[in-house]
Amino acid sequence: MWLPFLWRFFVTAGVPVSASSATAAFRDLRGSLVFLGTGTSLGVPMVGCSCETCQSSDPRDSRTRTSVAVGLPDGTLLVDTTPDLREQLLRERIGSVDAVLYTHDHVDHVYGMDDLRPICFHAGRPVPVYCEERVERRILRAFDYAFVAPASPGGGLPKVTFNRISTDPFELLGTTVTPLRLQHGTFEVLGFRFGDLAYCTDTNEIPDETWPRLEGLDVLVLDCLRASRHPTHFSLDEALAVARRVKARRTLLVHMSHDIRHADVAAALPAGVELAHDGLVVPLAT
């Protein structure tokens, strides 16, 4: 009668509680960039689609909306707040965000901003947001409830402070951020350079003024929607042409649709070009 009890006691006593909880609750991202999402605005799999990619069991074919978290010397930076933000932060064990930088005002890059509520709650202060005027106007309209007084009771509100940016480089969280003007169809959007890494999502044209800012890159993160051409995103061939011109050591493709089945497309890429996937981490030298 007593033996099983005693055995359980020793087993339990022999495994310190701290051992089972040795993994820190949250990750230290400093010196790295993590791909929170690598999918197009519809996400992959796409609702209602039974294509091979959408039915794939390869986890790299499961793509939330495109965003990265960047571990800078003085804190964690989010680039965009996608509608998948809550899921992305939980998956990557990111418990704090020190600033948000926006590329542009499209829904798949902005509409998860309400998921910053717990970030504001834990930090006890608003999250500084860095964006162009067009993005600020979109946020003020889409999340008007967060900017009216008095605030509605219960549930909390996302609190942000706006910082207007242009294409001028600026200091943020201990590093220099260099904005990169990009053309996204008829929209002007921004990419960003941190040290020798450039992040260029949602674009189908790199203006003349931006090419010099892409020189000497170690890593280029680049939009690549699908094989065929698109009016606002680079196709695979177009992205490969940009990669050849920029000559970064690594080019990582993002914002992919279900047209890109990871294993098939990755196997056919030239040396130095890779498909990113959700959760991929790359080192960052800022």
Chain centroid offset of residue 155 CA: 26
d(CA 200, CA 192): 7
Identity of the residue, 54 or 142, whose beta carbon is nearer to Zn ion in the bound complex: 54
Identity of the residue, 111 or 286, whose beta carbon is nearer to Zn ion in the bound complex: 111
Q: How far is the CB of 31 from Zn ion (least distance, A)?
A: 27
Identity of the residue, 54 or 123, whose beta carbon is nearer to Zn ion in the bound complex: 54
Applying CB under 5 A, among 6, 15, 51, 241 the residue interacting with Zn ion is 51
Direct distance between the N- and C-terminal alpha carbons of the chain, in angstroms, rounded to an integer? 63
d(CA 197, CA 214): 9
Identity of the residue, 28 or 205, whose beta carbon is nearer to Zn ion in the bound complex: 205
The count of other CB atoms within 10 Å of the CB of residue 266 is: 15
- Phi and psi angles of residue 282, each rounded to the nearest 5 degrees, phi first: -125, 145
Q: Could you tell me which of 93, 83, 87, 92 has the C-alpha nearest to residue 113?
A: 83
Identity of the residue, 49 or 263, whose beta carbon is nearer to Zn ion in the bound complex: 49
DSSP secondary structure letter of residue 4: H
Structure tokens at 112: 């998860």
Interactions with Zn ion, residue window 179-238 (CB under 5 A): 202
Task: Give yes or no for a contact between 182 and 205, defined as CB atoms under 8 angstroms apart.
Answer: yes
Q: How far is the CB of 54 from Zn ion (least distance, A)?
A: 3
Task: Give yes or no for a contact between 160 and 100, defined as CB atoms under 8 angstroms apart.
Answer: yes
User: Does residue 151 touch Zn ion according to CB under 5 A?
Assistant: no
Q: How far is the CB of 138 from Zn ion (least distance, A)?
A: 12
d(CA 229, CA 207): 18
User: Does residue 54 touch Zn ion according to CB under 5 A?
Assistant: yes
Binding mask 72-111 for Zn ion (x = CB under 5 A): ----------------------------------x-x---
Sorted by sequence, the CB contacts under 8 Å of residue 229 that are 6+ apart come out as 235, 238
Look-up of token digits 């010196």: 31
Task: Give yes or no for a contact between 99 and 75, defined as CB atoms under 8 angstroms apart.
Answer: yes
Identity of the residue, 83 or 120, whose beta carbon is nearer to Zn ion in the bound complex: 83
Applying CB under 5 A, among 258, 261, 262, 277 the residue interacting with Zn ion is 258
Give the interface size with Zn ion as a residue count (CB under 5 A).
8
Q: How far is the CB of 162 from Zn ion (least distance, A)?
A: 20
Q: How far is the CB of 256 from Zn ion (least distance, A)?
A: 11
Q: How far is the CB of 226 from Zn ion (least distance, A)?
A: 11
Q: How far is the CB of 69 from Zn ion (least distance, A)?
A: 17
Amino acid making up residue 30:
R
Identity of the residue, 157 or 242, whose beta carbon is nearer to Zn ion in the bound complex: 242
Q: Which residues bind Zn ion (CB under 5 A)?
A: 46, 49, 51, 54, 106, 108, 202, 258
